[in-house]
Amino acid sequence: MERYEPLKIEQKWQKIWADNKTFKATEKPDTLKMYIAEMFPYPSGAGLHVGHVRNFTIVDVLARFYAQQGYNVMRPFGYDTFGLPAENYAIKTGTAPQEVTKININNFRKQAKRLGYAIDWDREINTSDPDYYKWTQWCFLQLYKKGLAYQKESYQWWCPEDQTVLANEQVENGKCWRCGHEVEKKKMKQWFFKITEYADELLSEIDALDWPDKIKTMQKNWIGRSAGAEIDFEIVGGAPKIKVFTTRPDTILGATFLVVAPEYPSLDALTNDDTKEAVKAYKTAALKKSEIERQENKEKTGVFTGSYAINPATKEKIPVYVADYVLAGYGTGAIMAVPAYDDRDREFAEKFDLPIVEAEFVDRDLYGTPKITYKMRDWLISRQRYWGCPIPIAYDKEGNPHPIPEDQLPVLIPEVEDFRPDNSGHSALAKAKDWLKVELYNEDTGKVEEMTRETDTLDGYACSSWYLWRYASPHDKKHAWDEKAIKYWEPVDIYVGADHAVAHLLYVRFWCKFFADEGYLPFREPIKKLIYHGYINAPDGKKMSKSKGNVIDPLDVINDGYGADTLRTYEMFIGPVELDAAWDPRSVGGVYRFLNRCWSLLGNISKADNIIIRNKTIKKVTTDIVKCNFNTAVAALMEYVNELYKQGASKEDLIALAKLLKPFAPHLASEMLERLDTDDEWPKWDEKYLTSDTVEVIVQVNGKLRAKLTVKTEDLEDEEKITSLALSDEKVAKYTKNGVKKSIFVKKAHLLNIVV
């Protein structure tokens, strides 16, 4: 038997798969389908690292597994290409993002092919391709028509380094998630998607999802539904009344002060000459903190505004404070503080020496109007960046927005020489003077007028909110997705990722429900089963990062002689799929030796009969893959190979091995199956071979364990024989030499208790 040469074998089979388009997926109405995909990657200049490999290999193992069982499998691939990294690189080097993206995609594609992924490359998509973002713009217009895409002015997170607004989830510990620069709050007019319109449905359908519990809990918490009431408080002196939201209107008799958020719209009207400067300084400091920081602050801070409100229940004057533990986006941005029944209010009252009154409860409906509110905000989608999907809107001379007609899509990204945002908060698109002007019909005036295009671009999450449907018909020129293809392939059967527990996964659910309401989708949830896996960290346990110099390139592992099959199998063997794991070069070598042993068995086929262990292994690997217990499936294959080396391996044993191995090590397994002259149909087990002909019997003497006997299953019916076997065991005889009073055999428990 020649030696195992993984690179030679892998090159052979990758060419066969490419030439034959082995993984091309087409609709087959009479065949069960299986649509499996990963969260598609951002193709950075650094290329894939071994962390990406875990994500993609999980998808590939499942795709090959179900294909071997006769399913019609679609396993597409794509690239999330808009965003800051390419634009920042363009600013630094002068190389257009379009060129950088093309280079990075080519590198990712090359790496993915070297890993032997069962991808239908005819379904490859790229979000910065005009043929794709034309339909992203079309999606925007559908939301706009229904009033779910709208503009408003409000305080937003602003990154002064990247010169763009950020969504709440893109601010981490008060810093920009991309560049790490400290962010600030800035009042701006921005575009939003009204995701709150679907808050109830998004929340109510979470429990029915076949998703990890931790992801479902995170989405529930993010939506944050609260049932309560709104109550109006008059302000002494005539300032605008304060409307508060409370989940406990029945505690109003104990409300001894009000608190408004630093962003509260009428805050200035609540101040006077004595308090104005202190309130202004406090507001400035508060707006530099993230909402997470404001909620986690152990020590309460705040400033008296100078105003008093009238408690409508007690008719007493109560002071109005501004404090950052109240959030502008939750409820009305103002609360009635009841320190006797709320820990945060109590902490605040104790610090500022405010009354704490334990009053009686009143009827919940006596003073307020019932109200449901949510912690979740509407989705901020404007970005002041060049490298993003242009928003298909133009403005007339009065500044009124007008949608670009659908037959004029896509609004193409113009070429510019300077990619930097301008200093007034606009993207580099504002510098494309010829592109800025467009002739549009103005329905308000009944005339065709020159208008100015929107220079903000869409947040990249918009592009990734519908790509799972585009995969069904990626080259459709007339529609965002083909109706027949959608009905056959969708929704996604299994979706795999390690990020975006809230943002992307919530947004794609929102768009799915909206487009279902509009009649474009025949389902309301986009993903049947979600697999959320852990990270592969560097050997020291730290997260892999190019800046830290600890990124491991999968091609380095492959080209070192280990091959793609070793890398793939190792990443599935490294630990439970849901947990993080540290890269261990020694274990990579161990997996390579395992595959070598699989190969070597081909040269020593025997007539051994391993029917029991073979059937046990088939059942174990099958059930483990279904449960996504990939590490134990690989371990079972290793145990199987160990037994084959001890007992000898028949052709039937090796056929089973190759078929079970194929999802993990497809090149080696394909070569084995070819040499064994057989197909790759997934093997089935026979339950009759899974019942062992021996069992273990526990022997106790006066209730204490003294021995374990291996006896024939048929002997369980003969209590006298079991007792005789036990008494002849030297470990038991040691304690029964003075005689036996009685013995009790519990057959179901395989337990014999001897009393002396």
170: pLDDT strictly greater than 80:
no
Closest to 490 measured CA to CA, from 468, 508, 511, 463? 468
99: pLDDT strictly greater than 90:
yes
What the block records as the tokens of 661 is: 């191995």
Dist CA 199 CA 222 (whole Å): 10
Q: Which of 186-195, 297-306, 416-425, 525-534 has the lowest mean pLDDT?
A: 416-425
Residue the block writes with tokens 């309560």: 228
pLDDT tens digits, residue range 639-659? 999 999 999 999 999 999 999
User: According to the model, what pLDDT value does residue 691 have?
Assistant: 74
545: pLDDT strictly greater than 80:
no
As beta bridge partners, residue 438 has: 451
Query: Start-end ranges of CATH 3.10.20.590 in the chain?
Result: 694-755
User: According to the model, what pLDDT value does residue 169 have?
Assistant: 66
Helix (H) or strand (E) segment spanning residue 383: strand 382-383
Query: Start-end ranges of CATH 1.10.730.10 in the chain?
Result: 1-127+532-682
pLDDT tens digits, residue range 203-252? 999 999 999 999 999 999 999 999 999 999 999 998 999 999 999 999 99
Average pLDDT, stretch 599-612? 93
Percent of the chain predicted with pLDDT > 70: 99
Residues 6 or more apart whose CB falls under 8 angstroms from that of 653 comprise 608, 610, 614, 644
User: According to the model, what pLDDT value does residue 392 have?
Assistant: 98
Question: To the nearest whole number, what is the mean pLDDT of the chain?
Answer: 93
ω into residue 576 within 30 of 0, thus cis?
Answer: no
Q: What is the CB-side half-sphere exposure of residue 343 using CA atoms within 13 A?
A: 3
Query: Start-end ranges of CATH 3.90.740.10 in the chain?
Result: 225-374
pLDDT tens digits, residue range 117-162? 999 999 999 999 999 999 999 999 999 999 999 999 877 888 888 8
What b/e sequence results for 62-89 when a residue is b if at least 16 CB atoms lie within 10 Å of its CB, and e otherwise?
A: bbbbbbbeebbbbbbbbbbbbbbbbbbb
Query: Start-end ranges of CATH 3.40.50.620 in the chain?
Result: 137-218+379-460
| Radius of gyration, alpha carbons of the chain | 33
The one-letter amino acid code at 511 reads W
User: According to the model, what pLDDT value does residue 272 have?
Assistant: 96
- For domain 1-127+532-682, give the CATH superfamily: Isoleucyl-tRNA Synthetase; Domain 1 (1.10.730.10)
User: According to the model, what pLDDT value does residue 46 have?
Assistant: 78
User: According to the model, what pLDDT value does residue 547 have?
Assistant: 65
Average pLDDT, stretch 89-109? 93
Where does 137-218+379-460 sit in CATH, by number? 3.40.50.620
694-755 CATH fold: Ubiquitin-like (UB roll) (3.10.20)
DSSP symbol at 452: E
Q: Greater confidence, 330 or 126?
A: 126
pLDDT tens digits, residue range 718-749? 999 999 999 999 999 999 998 999 999 998 88
172: pLDDT strictly greater than 80:
no
| CATH 3.90.740.10 given to domain 225-374 | yes
Residue 28 phi/psi, 5-degree rounding, is -130, 95
Pairing of strands 242-246, 225-235: antiparallel
